[in-house]
With several copies, the nearest count.
Chain A
Amino acid sequence: MSILINKNTKLIVQGITGRDGSFHTGKMNEYGTQVVAGISPGKEGTNVNGIPVYNTVAKAVKETGANTSIVFVPAQFAADAVAEASEAGIELVICISEGIPTLDIIKIIPILEKNGTKMIGPNCPGLISPGKSMVGILPVNIFKEGHVGLISRSGTLTYEMVDQLTAKGIGQSTCIGIGGDPIIGLHYKELLTMFENDDETKAIVLCGEIGGDAEEQAAAFIKENITKPVVAFIAGQSAPPGKRMGHAGALIISGSGTAAEKIKAFEAAGVKVAKEPSEMPVLIAEALKQ
């Protein structure tokens, strides 16, 4: 098993003819992900590295039976692209695009809910089920098949964590970058539940950061619902209030959303928290032994 994506994932790439879209399509294809179609309005009938291009997602889904989509279109058109995928019956949309206006995302949330579409991101690096499928912009060489599920709000921090795990021989079931924006699709709770129900996953890494109270909620949720060991890390312990730390969502407002509160919440819920990334493989190894 694994969660969300696997060998049966049939992917379309929205914005396949763009620079990032075509580059990462190649990378995903190389990794073995089934990329079945690309979307680029007006370019139907052409192909990108042998992958057929369609004008609309609806047509692509009809012709190829795609169930997953990755969105590389520029920020101002990205929410529309997600909505298009959802209305076309795509079950899982991974939105890589960064800088999407928050209200654009808020406006499409009810469309996703109506259609039962899952969204990862926006402003995320995607996800990988090592050895099975990669949908995103992740550097596949650092990942290794195994039993740790990873959920993270950031990209390179995820790579750092994974690299450290892999270096210690600890493989991963699925690793998901959920995105650094304030409002995103699948969040800790949904993903924790999926990992809890995934046979292949034996322990879970949760990389949070400052801003909002999703980590506090996740902590309470873990205490009540998750039996598998979870180890957390929180980025931004030294960030001052009122300053946005790169990610649109990484912001301490009026003293709420601090790393200290989040760490406290995890510890109160019995979740170990790594002090720095290098401590993560140690804590995970301990957890896996138990």
Chain B
Amino acid sequence: MNIHEYSAKELFAKFKIPIQNEIVCSTPEEVAAAADKIGLPVVVKAQVLTGGRGKAGGVKFTKTKNEAIEAANNILGMKIKNLIVKKVLVCEAAAIAKEYYVGMVNDRNTKSVLLMLSAEGGVEIEEVAKTYPEKIIKISVNPQTGLLPFQAREALFNIMTDGNEVRQAADILVKLYSLYVHSDCSLAEINPLVVDKSGKVIALDAKINFDDNALYRHKAFEELADYTEDEKLEIDAKEKGLAYVKLDGEIGCMVNGAGLAMTTMDVINLYGGTPANFLDIGGSSNPQKVIHAMEFLLNDKNVKGVMINIFGGITRCDDVARGLIEAFSKMNVNVPVVIRLSGTNAAEGRELLKGNDKLMPAETMSEAAQKIIAAIK
């Protein structure tokens, strides 16, 4: 789960990471009042859960109240990478002397939280990582000791020289690590971390992702979420025991298992079709789950046909077939459906489906993909 900059900054404040004076606003009037309260000049920043705000014109430096209001008028409601800006953050304009990048992420390779630092702050770090990987210092944090201040200093001396800056930045890193583990983050970034002209080190931006698996420990974070319509569908599906991701294609897929579900999409693609979604119904033959799954598929107006791909493992295919028949008997399905059953008792399962005019059987995944692609042409 991602949260907005202003929410991340509130968390920063709670962990005593220095941030600027700033106020989140939803209307130009609020922006005007915020500018008064903070004192001009101010920066008005779009709050959207994506990168590249600056390039899209979502960040404006304003010297007068009228400029601030104008910026608010322009930014509020604008679309950045398909996301509508509903809030802006009005910030004190910092007198920036230096900009750095610092971040932490759950790292697959070191199996630890990886601390990342770069002297190239304020730019897209993914670009730096691709073009100049050597400009990013990476330090694996031992989870048993946490990030110790001396380790933070050692790391920072790679990108900074001034002792006073290093001390402040080390303190910020130690606090950020504390925030990271206490909040079950999967990513936390400060880009840029700036040194202002008075020598003070401040987090000028903040990006935080939480580990979805750990959200049960942090009920209070729920209200920080700002899900898109598609993400709301995913969450709704999750509550029904389904892993669902909406895509742009025409063929709805219903599969048991994430790897097989991805492969089903790939095979549809391979034979010239376009998958409308990723959908993993898990390991049960429960008809209710199938009904829920079909509802997700059919609610997608782009779906012209459905491919069901089940590998019977512990659950036998004949049981799955019975579940499917029961589910489909209760539903009004007006698009072609191809079912491929494989694995334990697959033949018996296919036998049960025979003669069911709503459900076209297929023997292999490739055959199923080809059949459904043909059916919707």
Contact = CB atoms under 8 A, between A and B. Distances in A.
Interface in B261-297: 261-263, 265-270, 275, 278, 280
A180 B255 CA distance: 16
A245 B161 contact: no
Nearest to A17: B163
Contact of A250 (B109, B165, B262): B262
Contacts of B112: 106, 109
B204 to A, nearest CB: 21
Interface residues of B, number: 66
Interface in B231-263: 243, 245, 247, 255-263
B343 A163 contact: yes
Contacts of B311: 156, 159-160, 163
Contact of B167 (A27, A42, A240): A42
Interface in A43-89: 43, 55-58, 75-77, 80-81, 83-84, 87
Contact of A158 (B107, B259, B270, B364): B259
B362 to A, nearest CB: 12
Contacts of B54: none
A139 B365 contact: no
Interface of B: 106-109, 111-113, 126, 142-145, 148-151, 153-154, 157, 161-167, 181, 184, 186, 211-214, 216-217, 243, 245, 247, 255-263, 265-270, 275, 278, 280, 311-314, 342-344, 364-366
Given A139-B344, A209-B262, A277-B365, A237 B106 contact: no
Given A156-B311, A209-B262, 11 more contacts: A27-B314, A100-B213, A102-B184, A102-B214, A109-B112, A157-B257, A160-B263, A237-B266, A246-B243, A246-B258, A278-B366
Nearest to A279: B366
Contacts of B164: 42
A56 B262 contact: no
A248 B148 CA distance: 25
B261 A246 contact: yes
Contact of A180 (B148, B149, B259, B268): B259
A43 B259 CA distance: 37
B266 A249 contact: no
Contact of A83 (B143, B148, B165, B269): B148
B143 A107 contact: yes
A3 B161 CA distance: 39
Contacts of B278: 239, 243, 245-246
A245 B245 contact: yes
Interface stretch (A4-12, A147-155, A222-230, A282-290): A147-155
A220 interface: no
Interface of A: 27, 40-43, 55-58, 75-77, 80-81, 83-84, 87, 99-107, 109-111, 137-139, 141-142, 152-160, 163, 180, 182-183, 207, 209-210, 212-214, 217, 233, 235-240, 243-250, 254-256, 259, 275-278
A183 B111 contact: yes
Nearest to A253: B126
Q: Which 5 A-B pairs have the closest CB atoms?
A: A42-B163, A154-B259, A156-B257, A246-B258, A157-B259
For B263, B312, B343, the residue with the greatest tally of chain A CB atoms inside 10 Å of its CB is B263
Contact of A278 (B149, B154, B212, B365): B365
B150 A210 contact: no
Contacts of B217: 101
Contacts of B161: 42
B83 to A, nearest CB: 12
Contacts of A83: 145, 148, 150
A138 B264 CA distance: 21
B257 A155 contact: yes
B153 A55 contact: yes
Contact of A109 (B111, B186, B343): B111
Contacts of B126: 254-256
A256 to B, nearest CB: 8
Contacts of A152: 259
For A105, A152, A156, the residue with the greatest tally of chain B CB atoms inside 10 Å of its CB is A156
Nearest to B150: A84
19 contacts: A41-B163, A56-B150, A76-B216, A80-B148, A102-B211, A104-B214, A106-B106, A110-B142, A139-B343, A154-B258, A155-B260, A160-B342, A183-B107, A233-B263, A236-B262, A236-B265, A237-B266, A276-B266, A278-B364
Given A102-B211, A110-B144, A141-B344, A235 B154 contact: no
A203 to B, nearest CB: 20
Contact of A277 (B243, B263, B344): B263
Contacts of B270: 275-276
A212 B153 CA distance: 29
B111 A250 contact: no
Contact of B108 (A41, A157, A183): A183
Given A183-B108, A277-B365, A153 B142 contact: no
